[in-house]
Amino acid sequence: MNNSLLTLKKEHKKYPKEWVYSLLLKVDIVRVVQKFISLKRRKKNKSEYIAQKGCPFHKEKTPSFTVSQTKQFYHCFGCGVHGNVINFLMEYNYWTFEESVRYLARLYKVKLPYRKTKKK
């Protein structure tokens, strides 16, 4: 199993875990992050991208925010933020986990599963 899936927290139960995993397998973090910030492919490692205008989460002079296509992770060497595509959407847009998942589902034309509602 892909490491990037492990950062999903247990409390995110509103959508079935298996469904979220299968959605994540279709998603390319580079494609998604590029919708919000401009990324440039690194020459040395073509599966790695670097934020051209620097890290969106802290101020910096030399770009240190990288996105790895093979690992499906983002990481900033400057401020230490890292995570998968859902973490990025949540932190960058201040979205909830569900909003981020719904965004990805829409983007990749994946049908949302039946959502369980808890009876009170």
Residues near Zn ion (CB under 5 A) are: 55, 57-58, 76, 78-79
Q: Which is nearer to Zn ion, 30 or 37 (CB)?
A: 37
| Cβ–Cβ under 8 Å, residues 112 and 100 | no
Rounded CA separation 86/35 (Å) = 14
Q: Please name the helix (run of DSSP H) or strand (run of DSSP E) that holds residue 62, with its range, or none.
A: none
Give the nearest distance from C-beta 74 to Zn ion in angstroms: 10
Give the nearest distance from C-beta 29 to Zn ion in angstroms: 16
Q: Which is nearer to Zn ion, 78 or 113 (CB)?
A: 78
Q: Which is nearer to Zn ion, 15 or 88 (CB)?
A: 88
Q: Which is nearer to Zn ion, 19 or 92 (CB)?
A: 92
Tokens 């900033």 appear where? Answer: 76
Alpha helix (H) residue ranges in the chain: 17-26, 29-33, 85-93, 97-107
Give the nearest distance from C-beta 43 to Zn ion in angstroms: 21
Give the nearest distance from C-beta 60 to Zn ion in angstroms: 6
Cα–Cα distances in Å, from 31 out to 13, 37, 59, 61? 26, 10, 23, 24
> Which residues fall within 8 angstroms of residue 41, CB to CB, at 6 or more apart?
48, 49
